[in-house]
Chain A
Amino acid sequence: MKILIIEDELDMLQNMKDFLEKENFVVETASSVFEAQNKIGVYAYDCILLDINLKDGSGFSLLEDLKKKEIEDGVIIVSARNSLDDKLQGLNLGADDYLAKPFHMSELNARVKAVLRRSHFRGNNIIKLGNLCIDIDEHQVDIDEEVLALNRKEFEILLFFASNKNRLVNKSALAEHVWGDHIDQADNFEFIYSQIKNLRKKLNAAGANIEIKAVYGIGYKLVEG
């Protein structure tokens, strides 16, 4: 899978690149509209991460170009301007998703994978994870053909971990993803602990060969085996 990151903040660009390369994506970068236009003209990408505020122009014009040329790449807008107008404009212009800066890398990862699933495995929205089979459209998890009963939150937690397999998932990233933006200032995320505990219990009881490990007060990591 090939991803193009268009971002003029170099530290940010490097972070995204490092993170996504660990997911075995082929990552290319551009830090200006000009550079991006050259790359888009030559190569095809599976997913483009597009910053709106670039030094030499707006990401929106780049998006318009892409759609005019009928390039089918999935586009996720990454913008520091967290305004509803930007979001609507971006989605109207044909972007697949919108992510407001600052964001957690695990959130970006989940969004990228969702876009890739939609564009590449149409109608077959299923993730295999150890002996688990997660059907995203049906909100259903099977373990060795047996249905695992999970509530909505537990399903979302599991799906987020599945998108970030073997990666460190920060507690606050998980909280924001599952419970929404407003939860983040709420508490010390102790309540997440009890949710994870319940999920682990259900997974163990059903004989899943995946494990959710705690990582020193930072967050969790889902590993197979």
Chain B
Amino acid sequence: MKLLNYTTSYFSAVLLILLGIWAVIFYVEMLDEIYDSLDDGLNNQKMLIINRVKNDPETIKQLDFKEASYKIKTINKERALRFKDSYRDTLMYMHNEEEFEPVRLLETVFKEGDGFYKLQIFTSMVEEDDLIEDLLFSLILLYIGLILSIVLLNNWILKRVWNPFYNLLQQLKNFRLEKDQKILTISSNIEEFNLLNTRIEQMLEKSISSYNSQKQFIENAAHELQTPLAISINKLELLVENEELNEQQIKLVASVLNNLEGLTRMNKSLLLLSKIENRQFPDEQEIDFVDLVTNLKKDYKDLASHKEMEIKIEMTSYLKHTMNKDLAGILVSNLLKNAIIHGKEGSEIIIEISQNSFRISNVSNRKALDESRLFSRFQKNSESANSNGIGLAIAQSIAEKYQIELRYSFTEKHNFHLDF
């Protein structure tokens, strides 16, 4: 959930509860106040009626409500003495409305002369009913109004206030350490954001510099290893030429030589990989992939025919892309090599070229490969002892450099796609 919506929903829930409680209290208070004033009115009327009875004994004959709002009834003394004033809500038939309406009723007793009388006075509560309705309606309106203004204000204020934060977030989302890009922060009046900005800038600077020095280190290490490796291999070759060695000794040296050569190959691949990552192939030109593949097919003819494989090129259009010539060659030849090495003996390798895609597919006994691991370094996906698992990582690295998408799919065949 977005920060914006999160606070808004939080506010809505809290407001709903708070406004509810507040409305109940308000309502009860109002009701209390209304009853108070109604009861005061009734009490006042009571005094007036009792006074009127004193002056005009005829009044006492008001036995039913009729057109007046009170009635008087005689009661015996015992009941009168036990009687206490009571206010209550009740229903009464109203002629104008032709139905029962709520009324407030006061029952009291008084003594006039020797007689005890019970007096009932009522007052209509119709308006108060409307009041409750109005109150509820207003509360709902108030609630909606509050939520709306909070959402709008929240949006407006949050967007303004959190702008540096969202800006930073957007850049972090697109940030890739390998891409050597800078994060541009917006300075803000808010201390926390400034702190966040400077901290992130420092952290990224540190990561970038350690990433670069790591890349540089790999390149330097690979570079420095080349000569000692070559010297060792040369010396061992000279040793093998020595006539005095017996077969067993030569086999031992041969084994060391093979390992050293494996190391040399791996070192060469690493050096190439870090050179690509360190952007040491600046020259670019338009590469005709059909040309490139046709030439590579010739280069790999012997390797393929050794496994009795046939390389078929199917093109529907020319495919051209601007990139470094050597890297284009390495990219395609690594994919081709991969297909030959892991392909089944006697099978076909099919290369399909269209206007903006390139696909190379081979058949093998293996099931679908795990794409997530396929393109990482040193991921050995084969039993082949001589494959060091860097070839596809190199291809991936080249493809990335030129915004080409390299992906793998399995459809009975193993397919490697380049989408331009």
A in complex with B? yes
Contact of A105 among B227, B234, B265, B340 (CB under 8 A): B234
Q: Which residues of A contact B230 (CB under 8 A)?
A: 12, 101-103
Q: Are A19 and B234 in contact (CB under 8 A)?
A: yes
**Quick one: given A185-B265, A185-B268, A185-B388, are A102 and B250 in contact (CB under 8 Å)?**
no
Is the Cβ of B306 less than 8 Å from the Cβ of A168? Answer: no
* Known A22-B241, A191-B302, A191-B303; contact A218-B231, beta-carbon cutoff 8 A: no
Residues A184-225 near B (CB distance < 8 A): 184-188, 190-191, 194-195, 215-218
Q: Inside 8 A of B384's CB, which chain A residues have their CB?
A: 187-188
Cβ-defined contact, A183 with B391, below 8 A: no
Inter-chain CA distance A187–B223, complex, in Å, is 23
22 contacts between A and B (CB under 8 A): A19-B238, A80-B227, A102-B229, A104-B234, A182-B333, A185-B386, A185-B388, A185-B390, A187-B303, A187-B341, A188-B386, A191-B303, A191-B306, A194-B306, A215-B240, A215-B250, A216-B250, A216-B251, A217-B251, A217-B258, A218-B250, A218-B254
A183 touches B303 (CB 8 A): yes
Taking the nearest CB of chain B, how far is it from the CB of A206, in angstroms? 22
A208 to chain B, nearest CB (A): 22
Q: What is the size category of the interface that chain B forms with chain A? A: 35 or more
B219-259: contact bitstring with A at CB < 8 Å (1 yes, 0 no)?
00001001111110111011011000001001101110110
Q: Is the C-beta of B264 less than 8 angstroms from some C-beta in chain A?
A: yes
A118, CB-defined interface residue at 8 Å: no
Q: A101-B227, A217-B254 are in contact. Are A182 and B240 (CB under 8 A)?
A: no
* Cβ A15 vs Cβ B303 within 8 A: no
- B341 proximity list for chain A (CB < 8 A): 186-187
* Residue contact B235 to A15, C-beta cutoff 8 Å: yes
Task: Knowing A19-B234, A168-B237, A216-B254, say if A186 contacts B227 (CB, 8 Å).
Answer: no
B299 on interface, CB distance cutoff 8 Å: yes
A195 to B305, alpha carbons, bound, how many Å?
A: 10
User: Does B330 make an interface contact (CB < 8 A)?
Assistant: yes
- Which residues on the A side are within 8 Å of B329 (C-beta)? 182
A153 adjacent to chain B (CB < 8 Å): yes
A41 at the binding interface (Cβ < 8 Å): no
What residues on A are CB-neighbors of B253 within 8 Å?
218
Whole-angstrom distance between the Cβ of A89 and the nearest chain B Cβ: 15
Q: Which residue of B lies closest to A11 (CB)?
A: B231
CB-based contact A218/B337 at 8 Å: no
Question: Do A184 and B265 form a contact, CB below 8 Å, given A12-B231, A15-B238, A216-B254?
Answer: yes
Tell me if B261 counts as interface (CB < 8 A to partner A).
yes
- When each residue 26-45 of chain A gets 1 if its CB lies under 8 Å from chain B and 0 otherwise, what string results? 00000000000000000000
Which B residues are within 8 Å of any A CB, using their own CB? Answer: 223, 226-231, 233-235, 237-238, 240-241, 247, 250-251, 253-255, 257-258, 261, 264-265, 268-269, 299-300, 302-303, 305-307, 329-330, 333, 337, 340-341, 384-388, 390-391
Closest Cβ–Cβ distance, residue B161 to chain A (whole Å): 53
With a CB–CB cut-off of 8 A, which chain A residues contact B247?
216
- B329 CB, min distance to chain A CBs, angstroms: 7
Q: Shortest distance in angstroms between A177's beta carbon and chain B's nearest beta carbon?
A: 14
Most chain A CB neighbours (cut-off 10 Å) among B240, B247, B305, B391: B240
> Quick check: A105 and B237 within 8 Å, CB to CB?
yes
Query: Using an 8 Å CB-CB cutoff, how does the interface string of A165-184 with B read, 1 for contact, 0 for none?
Result: 00110101000000110111
Instruction: Please name the residue on chain B nearest to A193 by beta carbon.
Output: B306
**Nearest Cβ distance between residue A176 and chain B, in whole angstroms?**
11
Enumerate chain A residues within 8 angstroms of B234, measured Cβ to Cβ.
15, 19, 104-105
CA distance A114 to B213 in the complex (A): 42
Q: Which of A102, A105, A185 has the most CB of B within 10 A?
A: A185
Chain A residues contacting B255 (CB-CB under 8 Å) are 217
Which residues of A from 83 to 127 have beta carbons under 8 Å from B?
Answer: 101-105
**Are A190 and B226 within 8 A (Cβ)?**
no
By a CB distance below 8 angstroms, the chain B residues around A72 are: none
Would you give the shortest CB distance from B257 to chain A, in whole angstroms?
6
